């Protein structure tokens, strides 16, 4: 009898859980089903402005001018990382090399600013470890974003490279990674074609 009442109790629990799941599923708002089609390339497909990790201690301070310079450097390095992910994933190495050839001094200056930030924000040795972790996580997140885009990732990156390779000065590059949201950049690109 005890086994039968236990089985009955478990059956009621399972039945109750199943009913609750069905009720919740019926209440959920379902997205309308659409047929997947390849979207046209959009250019500037990912945000390159990244959050700067805070210093390890509240005693470590940066002036507003230092913070702005650091943020700009992080944005440039984020773009470089995203372009590298595209180069490796989509066989766009020639475009990446052209970008680096054009902007290597500016990218290296941004890298030195980032290095200095991490060393001040976390100390010389732990700063290097923190920076390495940040760069790895950044590239991993950009890769995951690319995987989520599926087949259009490489098409989107062709448009992104077209926009980046049209940039002529470091100041234009800084504007590209900071001042222009992706949709504004796409609008200005489509007007120029």
The C-alpha angle with vertex 187 and arms to 90 and 50, in degrees rounded to 5, equals 60
User: Residues 18, 24, 26, 31: is their CA dihedral positive or negative?
Assistant: negative
Comparison of pLDDT for 50 and 46, the residue scoring more: 50
pLDDT score of 77 more than 60? yes
Per-residue pLDDT band for 173 (boundaries 50, 70, 90) equals very high
Question: What is the structure's pLDDT at 47?
Answer: 63
pLDDT score of 150 more than 70? yes
* pTM exceeding the 0.85 threshold for the entire prediction: no
Query: Quick one: average pLDDT of 45-54?
Result: 74
CB 42 within 8 A of CB 156: yes
For 75, the enclosing helix (H) or strand (E) is helix 64-90
pLDDT score of 190 more than 90? no
pLDDT score of 78 more than 50? yes
> Angle 64-90/93-122 helices, nearest 10 degrees?
140
pLDDT score of 20 more than 80? no
């Amino acid at each position: 009898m005890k086994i039968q009442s236990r089985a009955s109790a478990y059956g009621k629990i399972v039945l109750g859980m199943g009913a609750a799941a069905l009720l919740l599923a019926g209440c959920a708002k379902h997205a309308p089903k659409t047929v997947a089609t390849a979207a046209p390339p959009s250019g500037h497909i990912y945000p390159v402005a990244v959050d700067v990790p805070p210093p390890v201690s509240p005693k470590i301070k940066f002036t507003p001018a230092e913070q702005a310079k650091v943020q700009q450097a992080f944005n440039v390095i984020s773009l470089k990382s995203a372009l590298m992910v595209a180069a490796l994933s989509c066989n766009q190495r020639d475009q990446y090399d052209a970008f680096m050839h054009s902007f290597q001094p500016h990218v290296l200056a941004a890298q030195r600013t980032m290095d200095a930030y991490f060393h001040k924000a976390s100390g010389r040795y732990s700063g290097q470890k923190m920076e390495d972790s940040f760069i790895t996580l950044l590239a991993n997140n950009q890769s995951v974003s690319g995987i989520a885009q599926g087949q259009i990732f490489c098409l989107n990156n062709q448009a992104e490279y077209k926009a980046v390779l049209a940039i002529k000065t470091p100041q234009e590059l800084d504007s590209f990674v900071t001042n222009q949201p992706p949709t504004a950049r796409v609008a200005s690109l489509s007007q120029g074609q």
